[in-house]
Amino acid sequence: MTSFPRRRAINLAVAIAVAIVLAALLTFPFRSLSNSDAQAVVPYIPERLHPVTIKTPAGIGTLRTEQRDIHGNPVGVACSTCHADSGDRPLIERSAELTVFHTDLKFAHGQLSCSSCHNPDDRDLLRLADGQKIAFVDTMQLCAQCHGTQHRSYENGAHGGMVGYWDLSKGGRERNDCVACHDPHQPAYPQVMPAPPPRDRFFNVKGH
Ligand code: HEC
Ligand code: HEC
Ligand code: HEC
Ligand code: HEC
């Protein structure tokens, strides 16, 4: 007779313990969802994001010819076709010294020499200031090392433009390489004047 309440008490205790464990198990995975800080649980799933494509000029890293292939792309000649071995020829570093070839190359980019960007041992590659060789398609790394401000603006979307989606889960985005807009040899843009506004259709104000 005396054991009955004790057994009930034990059963009750076991039931409560099981309930606590179950409750803990059930709520655990959802605990973060009940946070007021809902942003923190939006999953970052890179596979579902559309790509950001960076447009580089066609035939970058080759010497363009007048020819075009059947797709309409310009045909280029690999730099190493002629630059396999410079032999004993002294390296030219300034455009003014070019008398035999590349003579139409105009240069106006600070006091840089050709080897500031072009790797002298392998003309099919560029090089960074620390000597690291990079492919022509990675030119932005080259520009970034000296123009950090513009590169940061580019990374933030304030320089260089873009088309497509801010939200990459909805669609892709297309951006331009620095050299799609800037000629690396004379990169400055000429000063542009703002165009006059469209003429007012109703008041017919002319000239402004
Ligand atoms: C058809 C042959 C030919 C091709 C292709 C060619 N070059 Fe040259 N390059 C020359 C010649 C010749 C000179 C020397 C020019 C002179 O003495 O006036 C030269 C000079 C240069 C120089 C000056 C430094 C030096 O070597 O004296 C650079 C830099 C250069 N070329 C880069 C390139 C790059 C980059 C490419 C590919 C995008 C390229 N060249 C493709 C023939 C070529
Ligand atoms: C600021 C870096 C930089 C400097 C300095 C520089 N180049 Fe270039 N050069 C580039 C880049 C980047 C390209 C690729 C651009 C492209 O092909 O659209 C290029 C392309 C070329 C090409 C191929 C162009 C074509 O349209 O066929 C030649 C030739 C060349 N450079 C020669 C030279 C010579 C000669 C010098 C020195 C007088 C020089 N470069 C200085 C960055 C530079
Ligand atoms: C080794 C350093 C170096 C590299 C690499 C370099 N630049 Fe420059 N850039 C300069 C210097 C120095 C100037 C001249 C600044 C001046 O005259 O005030 C300049 C000037 C410019 C200007 C003109 C700025 C103005 O206010 O007129 C532009 C645009 C530019 N660079 C773009 C580029 C691009 C695009 C690349 C990559 C292909 C590049 N630069 C690579 C050093 C560099
Ligand atoms: C969509 C074309 C475009 C692209 C891509 C672009 N730029 Fe520019 N950039 C411009 C124009 C246009 C100007 C001139 C702005 C002005 O005169 O006010 C400029 C100006 C500059 C200047 C001169 C200083 C300034 O801020 O006015 C530098 C340096 C420069 N860009 C570097 C870069 C670098 C480095 C990249 C790649 C990371 C890049 N740009 C990509 C269009 C572009």
Residue 177 in any domain: the answer is yes
Residue 194 lies in a domain: no
* Per-residue pLDDT, 1: 47
Q: Note whether 88 and 130 are within 8 A (CB).
A: no
- Average pLDDT value for residue range 61-89: 87
- Burial class of residue 50 (count of CB atoms within 10 Å of its CB; 0-12, 13-18, 19+): middle
State the virtual CA torsion across 95, 139, 64, 91 in degrees, nearest 10.
Answer: 30
pLDDT computed for residue 92 by the predictor: 93
Residue 75 in domain: no
pLDDT the model gives residue 205: 55
Q: Is 175 in the pocket of ligand 2 (CB under 6 A)?
A: no
pLDDT-wise least confident of 12-21, 165-174, 199-208: 199-208
Q: Tell me: pLDDT of 192 over 60.
A: yes
Which residues sit opposite 54 in a β-bridge?
Answer: 175
Q: Does any ligand 2 atom lie closer than 6 A to the CB of residue 164? A: no
Q: Could you say which ligand is closest to the alpha carbon of residue 111?
A: 3
- Name every protein residue with a CB atom under 6 angstroms from any ligand 4 atom: 140, 143, 147, 150-151, 154, 159-161, 176, 178, 180-182, 189
Q: What is the DSSP string of 51-76?
A: PEEEE--TTTTEEEEEEE-TTSPEEE
* Residue 102 maps to a domain: yes
Tell whether 176 and 112 lie within a shared domain. Answer: yes
Task: Say whether both 99 and 158 belong to one domain.
Answer: yes
134 is in which domain, residue-wise? Answer: 52-58+89-181
Q: State the pLDDT at residue 151.
A: 97
Pairing of strands 133-134, 126-127: antiparallel
Task: Give the Cα separation of 46 and 54 in Å (integer).
Answer: 18
Domain count, the chain: 2
Residue 129 in any domain: the answer is yes
pTM: 0.83
pLDDT in tens, 35-57: 455 455 655 566 689 999 999 99
Specify the pLDDT at position 4: 65
- Looking at the DSSP assignment, which residues form a beta bridge with residue 162? 175
Atom 43, ligand 4: residue with shortest CA distance: 160
Q: Same structural domain for residues 100 and 164?
A: yes
Among 178, 183, 185, 186, the mutation site with the greatest number of ligand 4 atoms within 8 A of its Cβ is: 178
Domain identity same for 37 and 102: no
The answer to whether position 204 is within a domain reads no
With respect to residue 133, please indicate whether it lies within any of the assigned structural domains: yes
Residues 26 and 100 both lie in one domain? no
Question: pLDDT value at position 46?
Answer: 60
Does one domain contain both 93 and 164?
A: yes
The verdict on residue 68 lying in a domain is no
| pLDDT top residue among 113 and 202 | 113
User: Do 93 and 168 belong together in one domain?
Assistant: yes
Q: Whose CA is nearest to atom 27 of ligand 3?
A: 188
pLDDT reported for residue 139? 96
pLDDT band at 30 (very low <50, low <70, confident <90, very high): low
- Is residue 160 a contact partner of residue 144, using CB atoms and an 8 Å limit? no
